[in-house]
Amino acid sequence: MASHRRPKQPSRTRVTVLTATAAAAVALTSQAAQAAPKQDKKDVKEQVDKLYEEAEQATEKYNGAKEKQQKLEKQVGELQDKVARGQEELNKLRNGLGAMATAQYRSGGIDPSVQLLLSSDPDTYLEKASTLNQLSGKQAESLRKIADKQRTLKQQRQEASTKLQDLADTRTALGKKKDEIQGKLSKARNLLNTLTAKERAQIAAKDAERANRSSDRVDLGSEVPDSQRAAAALAAAKTKIGTPYVWGATGPSSFDCSGLTGWAYQQAGVQLPRISQDQANAGTRIGRGELKPGDLVLFYGDLHHIGLYAGNGQVLHAPKPGANVRYESMDNMPFQFGVRV
């Protein structure tokens, strides 16, 4: 017969505990929501600007590693060519000595010293210089040439091996810098995406107001360049106003800061080093009061940013990721010194 007992009801104590636990969970959720308020757009902009600055610092280091890689690749190629040519010369010298030995054999036997040279380990012979007096003058001279060529080849192979290792290390550093730059730019984009479209538009408007983007709205004064080179470089840079900043770019359709200054001076017939820190040594350093249009201007303590002085306290530069080549007041950045190329 089926049981008709009523199901056991939870005790009052258990109900109280469950209720208290649920209340605590709600309270914690509320606290968590209050602990992570939406970021203020001013804070976001400051963080983004900082990330862009750090990305530019990394970009100049990337540019330096890229330049070093290109130089090393050229040096390694030249060394490998030298080694190949040297090996051919060595083979010819050995073949010549072999021809002597063949002639000796046909005329009545091979000199024991030459036999040793033509053995499976001829290098051993070269260490026994005392036996050279057993050879003819022509054979001895050939052996000396072989010994000199072998020493040269050994040095060149060691140098090429060192350069190849340096090249491998440089390529590794290049990859790390590339990842660092892309990581910072990605983080900046993610921060901007936390803002509303209206807030992003307001930030862009303020940035446009802070930096004059059009030459029609900039008073460059009446200052005159110090040289035709400087005038030509500045004129070339002016044609790139509105061109986007792209890290690692050297033109003509996009630039980073040192890419723009290098390209501009290249149009004036002057080859500048690739990175801003090296361009800082491309001429005579001058103070702010001595600047003339077309002079290079360096910013920040580590000199990671560079532009062209445009006149009346304005710099023409490729400013940062997300921005275009433009004029901007030098007061917006910590000026260090100018350089007259």
Query: Catalytic pick from 68, 177, 317, 340?
Result: 317
In the annotation, is 317 catalytic? yes
What's the CA gap between 272 and 259, in Å, rounded? Answer: 10
Query: Catalytic pick from 184, 305, 326, 340?
Result: 305
What's the CA gap between 313 and 187, in Å, rounded? Answer: 33
What's the CA gap between 263 and 10, in Å, rounded? Answer: 82
CB 227 within 8 A of CB 294: yes
Could you tell me the sign of the dihedral formed by the alpha carbons of 252, 248, 228, 238, in that order? positive
Could you tell me the sign of the dihedral formed by the alpha carbons of 118, 121, 127, 130, in that order? negative
In the annotation, is 234 catalytic? no
Decide: helix, strand or coil at residue 335.
Answer: strand
Query: Catalytic pick from 97, 135, 233, 257?
Result: 257
SS percent in the chain: helix, strand, coil, step 5: 60, 10, 30
Tokens matching residue 95: 């073949």
Smallest CA-to-CA distance from 78 within 161, 169, 160 is with 160
- Residues with Cβ within 8 Å of 208's Cβ and at least 6 positions away in sequence, in order, are none
Helix (H) / strand (E) element for 75: namely helix 41-106
Smallest CA-to-CA distance from 305 within 35, 11, 9, 53 is with 53
What's the CA gap between 264 and 74, in Å, rounded? Answer: 25
- Give the residue numbers annotated as catalytic, written as ranges: 257, 305, 317
